[in-house]
Structure 1
Amino acid sequence: MKIGSRTIKTAIGTPIAISIAQLLGLTNFVSAGILTILCIQPSRKRSVLSAWHRFLACVTASIFAIIFFELLGYNPIVVGVMLACFIPVTVLLKVTPGIATSSVIILNLYSSAGISLSFLTDQLLLIIVGIGTGLLVNLYMPSLEKNLNQKQEELEHNFQAILFEIALYIRDKNDKWDGEELTICENLLQEAENLVSLDKENHLLRSRHPYHDYFTMRRKQFDLLQKMLPLVSRLPNTDSISIKIADFFEKLSNAVHPGNTAIIYLDELKRLRENFNAEDLPETREEFETRANLFRLLHEIEDYLLLKKKFKSSDVSERNKIKKTGTV
């Protein structure tokens, strides 16, 4: 069973917070460990926001505790009444994540049976130690670069498989494909988008992420691939043009990589269109349907390639466009 980084940080931060609280001679020093546990978050951004929410909620809770306990007394009914008033205030201040943390302080103040300035100072230090330790421990975040690169490679591999299966179907009506790669791609894209979002939150001063645009582009390409499949399935027969399109899909399947030489395939697609337009007009309904679906298919392929072309600067100069190798 794999132990996550949050578990490790919780295991390290909790005893540190308790030890610091003990060294400072704070009462209820165990509460520092509880505060630290509650402050461990999946990202740096969430950790900073969590620390602020919890600190503000704890300060607000201390004020409420002074008012309610000193005026109404120290009994369970007053705790309930105070919470009924306190929680709506946290919602108003937009610090609801701090409710659990502030509850620890409220119960500490309740158990004192008498709130003095020294005890309030004691609790403030407890808050600083617990939340501060959680914030400092959470500043370390493992790099997600390796995971994102792995998702990228897996996604491209499945794109290759989908494009190749489309080529097989156009060429010889191969219907043995179960479409498993489509489900895999959908899951990979969702996982990658979640990782990108998390990694963005780990870099507080960086607004853009190198993988964000890439996976956004692949998401749009995947949508186009899904739109192509019904068109391919409705091709009733094959002709010279459809065979050339099948060959084109096979070339694309061998050229799915992070680089950008989509311009090579856009040029080839342009020649395919010219051949398509030079063909004799269809004579039967079946031929007409084939041509219509092939025409729409060419349009979807073009959109697919244009997405890659716009994604980043081309890796192919105008002088070298005629090279046979490329990546899309």
Structure 2
Amino acid sequence: MSIIRDKKRLKRICIKSLKIGFGSCLAIAIAHFFNLKYEISAGTIALLTILTTKWETIRLSAYRIVMFFVTVLVGWLVHNFIGGGWPEYGICLLIIVFLCEITGWTSTLSVNSVIGAHFFTEGDFSPEFIINEFILLLIGISIAIVLSFFSSNRSYKKMILKHMEYVEDKMHGILSHIASYLRNEPMPGSVWADINQLEDKIKEFIQDASEYNDNTFSDNPKYYIEYFEMRLLQIDELHSLHYEMRRMRSMPVLAEVVAEFLDFMAGCIGKMEMLDVQLDNLHEILSHLKKEAPPTTTEEFESRAILYHVLMDIEDFLLIKKRFVDNLELKHRNETFIKA
């Protein structure tokens, strides 16, 4: 998985490098065609605006436009009331940096400083020069936005779907191993290590899902983020479940029934339906446990108490998924209502 991930990272770096190189050259060529002053700055603006995702690029472009007019206003005030030398440029930058910090728009600072330098170098705040600088900005951010749409969303979605299959397959295996433990059967490998490894992978998958979310305009792109977050919560329950089971010194009579239920759960791990059936079956097992004859030894009492906690962990595991599914259904109903 790490080798595959490194290849994907290298692919992203190559694509971003090509976008920046091509986009910067194209921006400079367009600025040159319109005979603009400081034409090379259009390429610099494109370079500084091309980001990893569509939404980041669009947001940054909008911030740059707003801060352009702020920079022009601040520069004009400093130039007219203080002077137009390099010390005054420093004062202008001081004000711009302060405004960027309090608005959280520090990512716009690099372009603001370039534009500010042009104004103080020329000492010109005429409408013609302001338009010249604004067109440079528009060329740079337009190229960045257009290039941000050239992203392999389809392959990215396929990758995320494979991540989902991977998680479900691993969870299936973990639940099956825990069922084997309840039957006193030998377990291949370490369940604890498997759970920890899967937890790390899910955290990586959440990052991938977040990047996909920022690169798509689909109706419900956050589904994948919420899905992996749901699985991460279930991992916490698996940790608790495994910890409880390791404390068992003997297997209660109902251990085989619980093992069969875990096998049933493992078979349903990739399904979004049948949760009510699983919960009903679990509640039946809990009812049988309560009706059993009282334990006769301390060891039997402890094991039965631990089994009860195991069943509670299983219930929490299922309820996490149920909340996720119910939330999806609620969103779907709301969207249908709004569209109607």
Which residue is 2:237 aligned to?
Answer: 224
Structural mapping, 1:1-328, within 5 Å: 2-4=10-12, 5-143=15-153, 144-172=156-184, 174=186, 177=190, 179-204=192-217, 206=219, 209-312=222-325
CA shift at 1:289, angstroms? 0.4
SS at match of 2:175: helix
Q: Taking structure 1 as the reference length, what is the TM-score of the superposition?
A: 0.84
SS at match of 1:141: coil
Q: Residues 180 and 186 of structure 2 are in contact (CA less than 8 Å); yes or no, is this contact kept in structure 1?
A: yes
CA shift at 1:215, angstroms? 2.6
Aligned residues: 313
Q: Distance in 2 between matches of 1:302 and 1:185?
A: 21
Structure 2 gap segments, 5+ residues each: 1-6, 327-340
Q: Distance in 1 between matches of 2:47 and 2:300?
A: 68
Q: Distance in 1 between matches of 2:218 and 2:186?
A: 51
Q: Which amino acid aligns with 2:11?
A: I
Q: Distance in 2 between matches of 1:207 and 1:101?
A: 34
CA shift at 1:30, angstroms? 0.9
Q: 1:194 to 1:258 in 2, by over 3 A?
A: farther
Q: Which amino acid aligns with 2:168?
A: E
User: Does 1 or 2 have the higher relative contact order (CA < 8 Å, sep 6+)?
Assistant: 1
Q: 1:88 to 1:308 in 2, by over 3 A?
A: closer
Q: Distance in 2 between matches of 1:214 and 1:275?
A: 33
Q: 1:270 to 1:21 in 2, by over 3 A?
A: same
Which residue is 2:331 aligned to?
Answer: none
CA RMSD of aligned residues (A): 2.6
Residues 107-116 or 157-166, more deviating: 107-116
Q: Distance in 2 between matches of 1:131 and 1:232?
A: 58
Q: Which amino acid aligns with 2:236?
A: D
CA shift at 1:287, angstroms? 0.7
Q: Residues 195 and 238 of structure 2 are in contact (CA less than 8 Å); yes or no, is this contact kept in structure 1?
A: no
Q: Distance in 2 between matches of 1:8 and 1:269?
A: 55
Q: 1:302 to 1:104 in 2, by over 3 A?
A: same
Q: Deviations over 1:261-306 (max 9, x none)?
A: 2344334334433442343211111110001010111122123233
SS at match of 1:202: coil
Q: Distance in 1 between matches of 2:207 and 2:74?
A: 39
SS at match of 2:306: helix
SS at match of 2:11: coil
Q: Which amino acid aligns with 1:64?
A: V
Which residue is 1:323 aligned to?
Answer: none
Q: Distance in 2 between matches of 1:306 and 1:90?
A: 44
Q: Distance in 2 between matches of 1:289 and 1:66?
A: 79
Q: Distance in 2 between matches of 1:154 and 1:264?
A: 25
Q: 1:137 to 1:222 in 2, by over 3 A?
A: same
Q: Distance in 2 between matches of 1:280 and 1:93?
A: 67
Q: Distance in 2 between matches of 1:205 and 1:276?
A: 47
Structure 1 gap segments, 5+ residues each: 314-328
SS at match of 1:240: coil
Percent pairwise identity: 23
Q: Residues 25 and 43 of structure 2 are in contact (CA less than 8 Å); yes or no, is this contact kept in structure 1?
A: yes
Q: 1:270 to 1:205 in 2, by over 3 A?
A: closer
Q: Taking structure 2 as the reference length, what is the TM-score of the superposition?
A: 0.82
Which structure has greater helix proportion? 2
Q: Residues 64 and 82 of structure 1 are in contact (CA less than 8 Å); yes or no, is this contact kept in structure 2?
A: yes
Q: Residues 50 and 144 of structure 2 are in contact (CA less than 8 Å); yes or no, is this contact kept in structure 1?
A: yes
Q: Deviations over 1:194-235 (max 9, x none)?
A: 233333333457466332443343233222112211210111
SS at match of 1:3: helix
Q: Which amino acid aligns with 1:172?
A: N
